[in-house]
A and B are shown apart, each in its own frame.
Chain A
Amino acid sequence: MTKFVQILIAAIIQGIPLLYGATGEIITEKSGNLNLGIPGIMYVGGISGVIGGYIYEFKSVHPSNEVIHTILILLIPLICSLLGSLTMALIYSFLTITLRANQNVTGLALTTFGVGLGNFFGGSLLSMFGETGSIALTTTGKVYRTTLPFAHSLGPVGELFFSYGFLAYLAIIIAVAAGFILNRTRIGLNLKAVGESPATADAAGINVTRYKYVATCLGGMIAGLGGLYWVMDYTDGAWTNNGFGDRGWLAIAIVIFAIWRPYLAIPSAFLFGGLYILSVFIPGLTPAMKEVINMLPYVVTIIVLVTVSARKKRENLPPASLGLSYFREER
């Protein structure tokens, strides 16, 4: 029983960064923008938070008031992370929406750029300040990992539901809010119209450019928080180059697996998170079997993608204009 709970907790912890990435990408894709730069944005979200946190934790004078200190140690990395991923999303938006560049090429370039930025500053931040060693923001990490005080006194149930840092709950809140806005509000309806047929939306008086910009930037900022969660909470404030791995692409896989629905993205992210670490919990696995398990998320995603396209149910298909840039005079 406790082992089962342990697996569930591990799956949720692994799933949170994926959920951020997937929610961000769903919002972006609903506007018709296929942002393949999400993996890069997640790296930048992580490293921007690290840079902000490092400068505050080691290079600044701290206020004497303990409460203000805690608030700052929490807010500075958070704001830095949001600004970093916003900048990345703006580069993508400007190139693809205003300059109408090809989305696939721009996205891939953004990922190259973002992963490069993350690894560059991750590997050089300390030597820039004339220090050696590796980045470890233990104090910041500790604040991000703070759980509710009663989390560990309620047995397995408390562990399962209350033992995470605040970013984990924020991920779920954002996903639920995104689902609500997409399904229940006028803004969501307009956004979906932009993604399905920008020309029709334009004719109906919807500002296509504004919707695309806002959706892509918001999506990027949400995805960036996934990087922040990973470095501050999961790895306790320690940055390792390429440590985030290919989780960004897994997040894009979840978007497909959840057939572009934020509500479904929540269990999907936990499922994929579970598959990501399942091999650790099964005793006696051969190394080859472990790799087979690691392959499962991608295979399952392909199966979902094919099934959805074969069944051709309108509401399950990707947004119709996904990947295409919109130019009003080209009809």
Chain B
Amino acid sequence: MEHTIKSKKEPLIHITKRDAMPLWKAILIRVIAVVIALAVSALLVMVLTKKNPGQVFTAMFNGSFQTPRKILNMLQDVAMLLCISLAVTPAFKMKFWNIGAEGQVLMGALASATLMYKLGNTGIPNGVLIPLMFIGSILMGMIWAIIPAIFKAVWNTNETLFTLMMNYVAMQIIQICIATWATSGSGVMGVINSMNEAGWLPQIFGTKYLLNIIFVALLTVFVFIYLKFSKHGYEIAVVGESENTARYIGINVKKVILRTMALSGALCGFAGFLLVSGASHTITKELAGGMGFTAIMVSWLAKFNPAIMVGTSFLLVFLDKGASSIAMECRLSESIGEIITGIIIFFIIGCEFFIRYKINFRSSNKEVAK
């Protein structure tokens, strides 16, 4: 009797948690996932465009590398996505689900744009104006991030939903500012200070965006060291792993949450500063273009490691640009880039399961029982 019940109840698959997996094996699983994802995407592109794989690859490569200008544009996009990914990482590592990076970047950008617009014609030298914009952006990003953090710390308000809503409040504030400033009623801000280039980051070696790229490279090193070797980084890791453990060993959890969110927001604000001062020289509510959300996926895919983030943000930007250029060639919509981004992320987050868990089949269990 007991035997029949047991054989009936024992499920076909039984899942257990792994202790740890050798690094090479974990990397192998991820590589396999990326390869499968790329194969699926390639297949999709081939079906939709009716081109052979060689043509698809050439067109994708051309999308990012055809001309020096395209390379530079791609590097700028990688730099901005990487910058925002670095910004969201400390909070995410702490398991504080801040999905408000979009809004924090936009508020930083707005601070820069406001200062550019208001002080641009007062004859203030760039040596003063640019640092002012820098500080303003960082402060605004910080404020926008710390508001949800305060409510989380005091009343345990759900931070995911709060930060999500803050994005749209930020977008509307930008719309209000544009509606007030753009007196023509066009609803478009246009390039600010195009005559005297006040508040524009200088071009070094005559190359656009180069300064942005250098700043983000430095930031990558800073965040890597901050998370890996500083006391703050250690506290973030402990709070992320287990809040109770953190409390037990005497870490002030609320303080860490507030401090980390302030840092996250400040870095987002910095990204906004780079976007306005170093690239677009204008402000729209689409300035961040959804990068605040994509950055979360970049950071997550890289397991919060800034060095790997360079690779993941490069991969996503490359695929997006490549897919868009194929689509343009075939007179299809550029949105195919977003579809491919989605597929890649589905595969990579799906493969995490096989790294964290082990699947045991029923037959193998019985052998063990013998």
Binding site for B on A (CB under 8 A): 34, 36, 91, 94-95, 98-102, 104-106, 108-124, 127-128, 241, 246, 249, 252-253, 256, 286-288, 290-292, 294-295, 298-299, 301-302, 305-306, 309-310, 312, 318, 322-323, 327, 329-330
A113 and B342 contact, CB distance less than 8 A? yes
A112 and B155 contact, CB distance less than 8 A? no
Assess A95 versus B346: contact at CB under 8 Å? Given A124-B332, A246-B168: yes
Min CB–CB distance A125 → chain B (angstroms):
9
What is the total number of residues of chain B having a CB less than 8 Å from a CB of chain A? 55
CA distance A98 to B349 in the complex (A): 12
- Is the C-beta of B122 less than 8 angstroms from some C-beta in chain A? no
Provide 14 A-B residue pairs closer than 8 Å at the C-beta atoms, listed in order of the A residue. A101-B349, A104-B160, A109-B341, A112-B293, A120-B338, A127-B331, A294-B172, A295-B168, A302-B165, A305-B161, A306-B157, A309-B151, A309-B155, A327-B17
Binds A, one of B22-30, B174-182, B266-274, B306-314: B174-182
Of residues 144 to 159 in B, which have CB atoms within 8 Å of A's CB atoms? 151, 155-158
CA distance A241 to B335 in the complex (A): 10
- Is the C-beta of B81 less than 8 angstroms from some C-beta in chain A? no
Of residues 176 to 206 in B, which have CB atoms within 8 Å of A's CB atoms? 176, 179-180, 185, 187
Of A113, A252, A312, A330, most buried by chain B (CB within 10 Å of CB) is A113
Assess A113 versus B346: contact at CB under 8 Å? Given A292-B176, A310-B155, A322-B158: yes
Assess A298 versus B165: contact at CB under 8 Å? Given A112-B290, A124-B332, A305-B157: yes
Assess A306 versus B151: contact at CB under 8 Å? Given A95-B350, A99-B350: yes
A288 and B179 contact, CB distance less than 8 A? yes
Cross-chain contact of A288 among B166, B176, B334 (Cβ < 8 A): B176
B interface: dominant SS: helix
- Smallest Cβ-Cβ distance to A287: which chain B residue: B179
CB contacts between A and B, total, < 8 Å:
170
Cross-chain contact of B180 among A99, A120, A288, A305 (Cβ < 8 A): A288
Q: 6 nearest interchain CB pairs? A: A113-B342, A116-B338, A123-B333, A295-B172, A287-B179, A119-B335
CA distance A108 to B297 in the complex (A): 8
Assess A99 versus B341: contact at CB under 8 Å? Given A112-B290, A291-B176: no
B333 and A109 contact, CB distance less than 8 A? no
B339 and A109 contact, CB distance less than 8 A? no
- Smallest Cβ-Cβ distance to B180: which chain A residue: A288
CA distance A117 to B332 in the complex (A): 12
B97 and A120 contact, CB distance less than 8 A? no
Assess A318 versus B342: contact at CB under 8 Å? Given A101-B350, A104-B97, A295-B169: no
Min CB–CB distance A51 → chain B (angstroms):
13
Q: Mark contacts of B83-125 with chain A using CB atoms, 8 A cut-off: 1 yes-contact digit, 0 otherwise.
A: 0000000000000010100000000000000000000000000
Chain B residues, CB < 8 A from A119: 333, 335, 338
B352 and A101 contact, CB distance less than 8 A? yes
Cross-chain contact of B345 among A99, A105, A121 (Cβ < 8 A): A105
Assess A100 versus B353: contact at CB under 8 Å? Given A108-B296, A305-B161: yes
Chain B residues, CB < 8 A from A111: 293
A sample of 12 more A-B contacts (CB under 8 A), given A101-B350, A123-B335, A287-B187, is A95-B349, A98-B353, A106-B346, A114-B342, A115-B335, A117-B335, A241-B335, A291-B179, A294-B175, A298-B168, A302-B169, A306-B157
Cross-chain contact of B349 among A36, A102, A288, A301 (Cβ < 8 A): A102
CA distance A98 to B346 in the complex (A): 13
B160 and A34 contact, CB distance less than 8 A? yes
B160 and A302 contact, CB distance less than 8 A? no
Assess A109 versus B297: contact at CB under 8 Å? Given A95-B346, A329-B16: yes
CA distance A113 to B350 in the complex (A): 15
CA distance A256 to B169 in the complex (A): 16
Min CB–CB distance A301 → chain B (angstroms):
5
Of A121, A256, A302, A330, most buried by chain B (CB within 10 Å of CB) is A302
Min CB–CB distance B50 → chain A (angstroms):
10
A112 and B349 contact, CB distance less than 8 A? no
Chain A residues, CB < 8 A from B179: 286-288, 290-291
Cross-chain contact of B99 among A95, A108, A113, A292 (Cβ < 8 A): A108
Min CB–CB distance A41 → chain B (angstroms):
12
Chain A residues, CB < 8 A from B16: 329
Of residues 229 to 244 in B, which have CB atoms within 8 Å of A's CB atoms? none
A252 and B353 contact, CB distance less than 8 A? no
- Smallest Cβ-Cβ distance to A34: which chain B residue: B160
A241 and B343 contact, CB distance less than 8 A? no
A106 and B349 contact, CB distance less than 8 A? yes
CA distance A122 to B339 in the complex (A): 13
